[in-house]
Amino acid sequence: MITKSQLTFVFFACWVGLQAQDILSKEKAVSLALENNYGVKIANNAVAIAENNTSIFNTEFLPTVTGSAGATYNLDDTEAEFSDGSITKLNAAESSNYNASIEVSYTIFDGLGRRYNYKRLKEQYDLSELQARETIETTILQLFSVYYNVAQLSDNLNALEETLNNTKDRLIRAEYQFEYGQNTKLEVLNAEVDINTDSINIINTKQDLKTAKRDLKLVLGESFTTDFKVETDVEFMLQFQKDSLFEKAKSRNVALLQTEKNIEISKLDINSGKSAYLPTVGLTGSYGWNKNNNNAASFLAVSTNTGLSGGLSLSWDLFDGGTTITTIRNAKINLETQELQKENILLNIERDFNNAWDNYENKLEIYNIQEKNIVTAQNNFDRTQEKFKIGQVNSIEFRQAQVNLLNAELSRNQAKFAAKLSELEVLQISGELLNVQF
């Protein structure tokens, strides 16, 4: 028989399990976003198309095979004069023709154009993967911007609720003191006003929290439909990694890598354009069947032909009006443009990294100061509360200490998540955002 204590334990275990299920961890949020975010899905589709384009079926390296068949029927009035002078006239003379064939054509050599185009498609595929990576990085930053907004509002709500509880305790104390003539009605009214103020702050924060959760669900692709809580703890990891991260930024930054791919594509465009200077050699072959049912005016009543045929062709554009020359010149200019863009991106990376790093260090320092400020504000509140209980501090002084502690907690929460977001921005610039454990 199950005892009351056992039932209590089972109920408590189930409650704890349900509470744990309501937590949307950072790892789970990232996983859901990568799986369901519409921007990520669209980027993945672009990668799939680029992968299909690299297939051998899209390279013109395979031959083309064409099948054809036909039938004709003729009903003619015919007058035929033969060599001996005899004449034959036919009215409504019938004749028909049936044919079928299979043709194969293959380009043996096209000036290496196919080879360069195939390499270009490979580079385009790599470029599409980098573009998808950029979309994923942007999505993750957007995700954590909203996620940490939910976390900050959750921490703020806890601080506001704690403040409200302290104010309620103060009201109860003021009412008792008023009943026993130890205080005036003014203390009760002040406490009631402060309770209303704290309650309004909680109502507004709860509404902001609901809105933030909807924003987070949108980034997750609306895949997380139940109510949830988020993790509010953060861990900083970059305090002593500036030099190594800057070196990674100069080699792994996604914008830089995309420009390098565009440079490779531009080089292939030049070689592909030059292939037009060379001849094209092709091979053709066919197998055909042909049957003619002739009218009475013909020497042959029926004729049937089957057979193979093959041929070799060569074509060479000796001069195409200057189109190839213009194409190659433009491709060279585009290559120069891509190389200039790379140099510009390297300068931007250095500036953006240093700005992001300084921003991170400043916000981290502010967070550490706010943590110390919390200790001071908490000590001040505890001492003021003790003095308030023995009547050495009035309600106005107590409320001020209470508000100071609340403001310190709200400022600490803001500084904590702002520092973490700035850290993620450093990781994105250095190309390491997808390589860290969230």
CATH code of the domain containing 361? 1.20.1600.10
Q: Does residue 8 form part of some domain? A: no
Cα–Cα dist 309/288, whole Å: 8
Q: What's residue 299's pLDDT?
A: 62
Is the separation of the CB atoms in 35 and 223 below 8 Å? yes
For residues 214 and 173, state if they share a domain.
yes
How many angstroms separate the CA atoms of 120 and 135, rounded?
22
pLDDT digits (tens, 9 = 90+) for 64-86: 999 999 999 887 777 766 677 67
Rounded Cα–Cα distance for residues 149 and 197 (Å): 23
Please check whether residue 6 lies inside any domain of the structure: no
Helices (H), 233-322: 242-252, 254-274
Q: Is residue 84 part of a domain?
A: yes
Q: Who wins on pLDDT, 436 or 343?
A: 343
With H, G, I as helix, E, B as strand and everything else as coil, classify residue 428: helix
pTM of the predicted protein model:
0.84
Same domain, 290 and 375: no
The answer on pLDDT for 401 being more than 80 is: yes
DSSP strand pairing (87-109 vs 280-293): antiparallel
- The domain of 384 spans 24-60+112-278+319-435
What does the mean pLDDT of the chain come to? 89
Confidence band, pLDDT 50/70/90 cuts, at residue 142? very high
Q: Which two tokens stand for residue 192?
A: 């009631």
Q: Which of 10-19, 232-241, 315-324 has the lowest mean pLDDT?
A: 10-19
The CB-based long-range contact list for 159-162 (8 Å cut-off, 24+ gap) reads: 159/406, 159/409, 159/410, 159/413, 160/198, 160/201, 160/202, 160/205, 160/406, 161/202
Mean pLDDT for 38-53 is: 94
pLDDT at 18: 39
Residue 7 belongs to some domain of the structure: no
Q: How does pLDDT run across 195-250, given as a tens digit for each residue?
A: 999 999 999 999 999 999 999 999 998 766 778 999 999 999 887 789 999 999 99
Are residue 404 and residue 345 in the same domain, yes or no? Answer: yes
Q: What is the pLDDT of residue 126?
A: 97
Distance CA(2)–CA(278), nearest Å, equals: 91
Give the whole-angstrom CA distance, residue 260 versus residue 346. Answer: 11
pLDDT at 272: 93
Residue 14 confidence (pLDDT): 39
Specify the number of domains making up the chain: 2
Judge whether 96 lies within some domain: yes
Are 182 and 170 members of one domain? yes
pLDDT band at 40 (very low <50, low <70, confident <90, very high): very high
Is 66 inside a domain boundary? yes
